[in-house]
Amino acid sequence: MAEIIRMPKMSDTMEEGVIAAWLKKVGDAVKPGDILAEVETDKATMELESYEEGTLLHIGVEEKGAVPVNGVIAIIGEKGENIDDLLKEIEGGGASESQEKVEKKEEGKTEEKSTNKEEPKKEESKKEEPKKEESTGEEVDTSDINATLITMPKMSDTMAEGTIASWLKKVGDEIKSGDIIAEVETDKATMELESYEDGTLLYIGVEEGDSVEIDGVIAIIGEKGADYEKLLKAQKLKGSKSETPQEEEKKEDKVEKTPVKEESKTEESKAPEKTASPSSENGRLKASPLAKKMAEEKGFDISLVKGSGEGGRIVKRDVESFDPASAKPAAQASSASPAASAPTVGQESYKEEKVSQMRKIIAKRLAESKFQAPHFYLTMEINMDKAIEARNSMNEISPVKISFNDMVIKASAAALRQNPKVNSSWLGDKIRYNEHIHIGMAVAVEEGLLVPVIRFADSKSLSQISNEAKTLGGKAKNKELQPKDWEGNTFTISNLGMFGIDEFTAIINPPDACILAVGGIKETVIVKNGQMVIGNVMKVTLSCDHRVVDGAVGSAFLKTLKGLLEDPVRILI
Kindly write down the DSSP assignment for every residue of 155-220, as one continuous string.
-STT--EEEEEEESS-TT-EE-TT-EEEEEE-SS-EEEEE----EEEEEE-S-TT-EEETT-EEEE
Cβ contacts of residue 394 below 8 Å, gap of 6+? 402, 462
Nearest to 507 by CA among 361, 416, 380, 377: 377
- Model's pTM, two decimal places? 0.47
> For this structure, is 438 an active site residue?
no
Helix (H, G, I), strand (E, B) or coil at 387: helix
Give the whole-angstrom CA distance, residue 188 versus residue 13: 14
Helix (H, G, I), strand (E, B) or coil at 356: coil
Task: Categorize the per-residue pLDDT at 280 as very low, low, confident or very high, splitting at 50, 70 and 90.
Answer: low
The CA-based angle 558-416-412, given to 5 degrees, is: 65
pLDDT tens digits for range 553-564: 999 999 999 999
Backbone angles phi, psi at 375, to 5 degrees: -80, 145
pLDDT tens digits for range 198-253: 899 999 999 998 888 888 899 999 988 888 888 888 888 776 655 444 444 444 44
List the catalytic residue out of 12, 173, 301, 550: 550
DSSP 455-519: TTGGGS-HHHHHHHHHHHHHHHHTT---HHHHS--SEEEEE-GGGT---------TT-SEEEEEE
**Mean pLDDT in residue range 456-472:** 94
Give the whole-angstrom CA distance, residue 207 versus residue 33: 12
Reply yes or no on whether the pLDDT at 115 is more than 90. no
pLDDT at position 328 is: 55
Q: Which residues pair with 184 in a beta bridge?
A: 164, 191
Helix (H, G, I), strand (E, B) or coil at 424: strand
Give the whole-angstrom CA distance, residue 559 versus residue 414: 12
Q: Which residues pair with 287 in a beta bridge?
A: 314
The residue that leads in pLDDT, 144 or 75, is 75
Task: Categorize the per-residue pLDDT at 446 as very low, low, confident or very high, splitting at 50, 70 and 90.
Answer: confident
pLDDT tens digits for range 369-386: 889 999 999 999 999 999
Instruction: Give me the long-range contacts of 307-310 (CB less than 8 A, separation at least 24).
Output: 307/278, 307/279, 309/208, 309/209, 310/207, 310/208, 310/209
Sign of the C-alpha dihedral, residues 60, 66, 68, 69? positive
Give the whole-angstrom CA distance, residue 458 versus residue 413: 5
Residues 10 and 18: beta-carbon distance below 8 Å: no
Give the whole-angstrom CA distance, residue 397 versus residue 387: 16
> For this structure, is 546 an active site residue?
yes
Sign of the C-alpha dihedral, residues 114, 119, 123, 124? positive
List the catalytic residue out of 210, 253, 385, 546: 546
Task: Categorize the per-residue pLDDT at 93 as very low, low, confident or very high, splitting at 50, 70 and 90.
Answer: low
HEC states along 509-521? CCCCCEEEEEEEE
The residue that leads in pLDDT, 400 or 136, is 400
CA dihedral 233, 239, 240, 246 (to 10 degrees): 180
Helix (H, G, I), strand (E, B) or coil at 538: strand
The residue that leads in pLDDT, 513 or 528, is 513
**Alpha carbon 22 to chain centroid distance?**
20
Residue 236, exposed/middle/buried by CB under 10 A (0-12, 13-18, 19+)?
middle
Question: How far is CA 500 from each of CA 264, 404, 508, 523, 542, rounded to the nearest angstrom?
Answer: 51, 14, 22, 12, 19
Nearest to 100 by CA among 77, 82, 123, 80: 123
Give the whole-angstrom CA distance, residue 493 versus residue 479: 20
Task: Categorize the per-residue pLDDT at 122 as very low, low, confident or very high, splitting at 50, 70 and 90.
Answer: very low
The mean pLDDT of the chain is: 79
Nearest to 440 by CA among 467, 468, 421, 402: 468
Task: Categorize the per-residue pLDDT at 112 as very low, low, confident or very high, splitting at 50, 70 and 90.
Answer: very low
